[in-house]
Amino acid sequence: MNTTTQNYNSDTGFGTRVKHLDKILTEIANLWPEKIDLIHRWQLSLSTIDELRLNFSLPITCIGPVKSGKSTLINTLAGADLLPTGAGITTSFPTILSASKKFSAEIKLQPETLINEIFSRATNLLFSNETETCDRSPFNLKERLQVKKLLDSYQTNGNLTRHGIFNESYRLLKNIISGAEKVGEYYLNKNLSFIIVDPDDPSYRQFIRDETLSPFLSEIHIKAPLKLLPPHLSLRDLPGLDTPNPSHQNIIIQQLNESPALLYVISSRIGLRQADYQLLEHLHKLGLHERLLFVINLDLDVHADIDELNSMTRRCSDELGELGFTQPKFAFSTLALFWSRQEIASGLNQASKRRWQTWQEDSEKLEISTAGARQFLDRLHELGRDESGETLLRHSEKRLQQVYNNTRRLLESEVKQLTQTDRSLNSDTSRQIDNRDKIDAVLHETERIISGVCNEVEKFCHNKITRWLDDTKDQGLRKQLEMIIAGYQAPLDLIPEKNRNPLAPVRIIDNHFQLTIPAQIQERATLETIRFLETLHLELNQRLLKGCIPLFVICENFSRDNGIDQNELPLPIKINGQIPLFTLKSEVEERFAIVSKIQDLTQLLGRKIVRFRKRRSLGQEYSLQIKKAAQKELPRWLKNYQEQLKYALMRPHIDECQKLITDFFTDFLESTQTALAQSGEIADNNREAAAKRVTELKEILNHLQE
């Protein structure tokens, strides 16, 4: 490698090098208009890899029960008070924190149709005996006041703690009614995504602290300078895995699977709680237990001395070990780590300053916390050097180097042509025509081979998806979904023995089924799809590389150097696009409806009701009917999901692969064509003009090599 190439691969700012090369390409386009299409393609490639590298981050997800110190840990790593601490409400919607030079917060609100759906479902479930099942909107003043009146009556009559499932609907409705008045203007103006650039803006504080606004929030993405977090890492604070909001469940599962590490925070005040055991068991079922990093958040005020502090740390470690978690546990005070930064400590109030002074005087406990924090930060820096991040960096460097080499070859080729002797300038043009014809034929053949390879890969993917979803074995997705439906237990204890409305049992079971089974089906389908796609993508890459071997051979025959790497293709790092939602009905139908509407089942209330009750209750009969209908519809749902995976997810991905591979080989062959071609215009230009052009190109070439 020459000195120029070594300088270009040196550890300088990637963005600076991209801008430098882009400026040179602009100069070449102005001097060489006939190459403008090729230059624009290289500039687009530079822009793409620069943006990909700039926005890339590995997400580290913080999880754990409320009041365990998650928000304090995130604020600590960010070096600023960006999230509210304490019980908080930020865990009711996904919050993402990534690095940036300046603060900004992108607020995304739920679609109005989804808010209306959640509002209607909760109202129909809570007041199934008092109102008719219908669609409602919290943004309709009349309907909002009607439901508010029902809630006031519900609380007055002492029903507030009757059933847990009803309590959740009651709290959700109270928040939606109150929050709708505050965000109604956003929905009226169709402004469901906006950016706040001032962390002290009252609207920013309102959105992250006001519990009544949480049902309307889809996501908050905060960008800010991160003081302690290594490069290429971002933080996520997600809703709990038991969230009642179905729109969050698939997002949570997918983002947990994308995270190379999950920070599980445990408070040393009480150690592991029942909520911890349940959450850890759920993570184990999802196959995510090996990604956990445990942070024991030391409360330096609670523990009287160092012995008590060490005792609680050992207790938490032993209990986690008994549960099968053998990975390292990092014990430190997130608050002490936060206050240890001078700019944070200087802004503390008097009470916090006194606490911080007390901790500093008790040096033994603070030293233990400092040592644990240092080990934890070292582990984060190891994650910052994750293999997938290194793959992206290598890929972007190679692509940048490729554009640089193409540009250099283009300039050197033109300079060489312009400095030819009279004999070279007037040489036989037939060789030039032959070379151009050969390159054109190779380009045509390259496009044909790439198209054929991608078509074969697409057929392979379609067959793979079809076989996977048609699999009826015990471990297949279909069998798992059938078991979920078959295992459904209707809440017969919630059905009143006597009721004026004979359809009340049917409504209760139908609503309960819609709130539980579809969410479980979607969770399982999403998790299994992610696992399936990971395996499929590896096979897809291997088939693409194998199919392109003839192209590597062709390119090597036309190349004058060995600059092409036959083991690398500029493929996407992962399958792009959002995984399709496993839906049970079309968009125009009710989102989680499983069987026909209740009125279609009124035949149960005819003469046959007497015979039913002799054998089983109406609730038992309807429970069997709803499971049978769901089992009958399952093949159609799987068929619809199969088509979504094929055409909404895989086809755009295959098209992107084809474009990247085509650009890869076309760039190389066109640069070879430039090197082989003889300029036909030189013979028509006088030597003075040729000399002037040589001077200009050499200046650009020298600028390129700086």
- Least confident range of 212-221, 258-267, 494-503, 565-574: 565-574
Please name the residue ranges forming H helices in 362-476: 363-384, 387-418, 422-425, 430-470
Rounded to an integer, what distance in angstroms lies between the CA atom of residue 20 and that of residue 162? 69
Rounded to an integer, what distance in angstroms lies between the CA atom of residue 29 and that of residue 103? 37
> Are 342 and 266 in a shared domain?
yes
**3 or 547: which carries more pLDDT confidence?**
547
Note the pLDDT tens digit of each residue in 599-619.
445 455 554 444 444 566 777
Strand arrangement, sheet containing 329-332: 193-196, 104-109, 217-224, 95-99, 233-237, 58-63, 261-267, 292-297, 329-332
Rounded to an integer, what distance in angstroms lies between the CA atom of residue 323 and that of residue 280? 9
The pLDDT of residue 684 is: 45
**193 or 392: which carries more pLDDT confidence?**
193
Burial 436-473 (b: 16+ CB within 10 A, else e): eeebeebbeebeebbeebbeebbeebbebbeebbeeee
Contacts of residue 557, defined as CB under 8 A and 6 or more positions apart, other chains included, come to: none
| pTM, two decimal places | 0.61
> Are 379 and 478 in a shared domain?
no
> Are 133 and 247 in a shared domain?
no
The pLDDT of residue 164 is: 40
Backbone φ, ψ for residue 193 (5° rounding): -145, 120
Note the pLDDT tens digit of each residue in 608-648.
444 444 566 777 777 888 888 888 888 888 998 899 888 88
Mean pLDDT of 671-696: 58
Domain count across the chain: 3
Q: Which residues pair with 58 in a beta bridge?
A: 233
**570 or 188: which carries more pLDDT confidence?**
188
Tokens of 267: 């408070």
> Are 508 and 617 in a shared domain?
yes
> Are 132 and 171 in a shared domain?
yes
Note whether 649 and 577 are within 8 A (CB): yes
The pLDDT of residue 200 is: 85
pLDDT tier at 330 (50, 70, 90 boundaries)?
A: very high
Domain end call among 327, 357, 385: 385
- Least confident range of 17-31, 249-263, 611-625: 611-625
Rounded to an integer, what distance in angstroms lies between the CA atom of residue 345 and that of residue 393? 37
- Per residue, the 3-state secondary structure of 568-614, as one string, reads CCCCCCCCCCCCCCCCCCCCCCCCCCCCCCHHHHHHHHCCHHHHHHH
The pLDDT of residue 418 is: 67
Backbone φ, ψ for residue 63 (5° rounding): -135, 170
Domain end call among 385, 405, 438: 385
Domain end call among 385, 418, 445: 385
Mean pLDDT of 233-256: 65
Nearest to 624 by CA among 706, 513, 539: 513
- Least confident range of 270-284, 317-331, 545-559: 545-559
The pLDDT of residue 466 is: 93
Q: Is residue 21 part of a domain?
A: no
Rg (C-alpha) for the chain, rounded Å, is 32
Rounded to an integer, what distance in angstroms lies between the CA atom of residue 237 and that of residue 223? 14
Note whether 676 and 439 are within 8 A (CB): yes
Tokens of 688: 């003075």
Helix (H), strand (E) at residue 642: helix 618-643
Note the pLDDT tens digit of each residue in 376-414.
998 888 877 765 566 667 777 878 888 888 888 888 877
Note the pLDDT tens digit of each residue in 442-477.
778 888 888 898 999 999 999 999 999 988 887 789
> Are 300 and 257 in a shared domain?
yes
Rounded to an integer, what distance in angstroms lies between the CA atom of residue 635 and that of residue 628? 13
Tokens of 413: 């080729």
- Per residue, the 3-state secondary structure of 674-698, as one string, reads HHHCCCCCHHHCCHHHHHHHHHHHH
> Are 166 and 275 in a shared domain?
no
Range of the domain at 613: 472-661
The pLDDT of residue 574 is: 67
| CA dist list (Å): 372 to 65, 313, 354 | 21, 11, 23
> Are 594 and 519 in a shared domain?
yes
The pLDDT of residue 251 is: 63
Q: Is residue 275 part of a domain?
A: yes
> Are 245 and 307 in a shared domain?
yes
Helix (H), strand (E) at residue 292: strand 292-297
Note the pLDDT tens digit of each residue in 32-90.
888 888 888 888 888 877 777 777 777 788 887 777 778 888 888 887 778 776 544 44
Q: At what angle do helices 430-470 and 477-486 cross, to 10 degrees?
A: 30
The answer on pLDDT for 240 being more than 90 is no
> Are 496 and 363 in a shared domain?
no
Specify the DSSP class assigned to residue 214.
G
Note whether 128 and 504 are within 8 A (CB): yes
Q: Is residue 47 part of a domain?
A: no
Q: Which residue has the tokens 């070096």?
A: 79
Note whether 697 and 409 are within 8 A (CB): no
> Are 543 and 489 in a shared domain?
yes
Strand 292-297, strand 329-332: pairing: parallel
Contacts of residue 469, defined as CB under 8 A and 6 or more positions apart, other chains included, come to: 477, 478, 638, 639, 641, 642, 645
The pLDDT of residue 329 is: 92
The pLDDT of residue 368 is: 92
Q: Is residue 653 part of a domain?
A: yes
The pLDDT of residue 87 is: 44
Note whether 493 and 166 are within 8 A (CB): no
- Least confident range of 185-194, 361-370, 421-430: 421-430
The answer on pLDDT for 415 being more than 60 is yes
Rounded to an integer, what distance in angstroms lies between the CA atom of residue 23 and that of residue 17? 10
Tokens of 52: 């990909």
pLDDT tier at 315 (50, 70, 90 boundaries)?
A: very high
The answer on pLDDT for 2 being more than 50 is no
Q: Is residue 558 part of a domain?
A: yes
The two counts, helices (H) then strands (E), for the chain are 25, 9
Q: Is residue 413 part of a domain?
A: no
* CB atoms near residue 562 (< 10 Å): 8
Strand 104-109, strand 217-224: pairing: antiparallel
The pLDDT of residue 599 is: 45
> Are 276 and 367 in a shared domain?
yes
Tokens of 284: 């184990």
Q: Is residue 225 part of a domain?
A: no
Note whether 587 and 656 are within 8 A (CB): no
The answer on pLDDT for 314 being more than 90 is yes
The answer on pLDDT for 435 being more than 70 is no
Q: Is residue 274 part of a domain?
A: yes
Nearest to 310 by CA among 246, 365, 350: 365
Tokens of 626: 């709803």
Rounded to an integer, what distance in angstroms lies between the CA atom of residue 301 and that of residue 520? 42
pLDDT tier at 676 (50, 70, 90 boundaries)?
A: low
| Average pLDDT for the chain | 78
Rounded to an integer, what distance in angstroms lies between the CA atom of residue 126 and that of residue 173? 10
pLDDT tier at 1 (50, 70, 90 boundaries)?
A: very low
Note the pLDDT tens digit of each residue in 143-174.
889 888 888 887 776 555 544 444 567 888 88
Most confident of 508-512, 524-528, 617-621: 524-528
Helix, strand, or coil here: 472?
coil
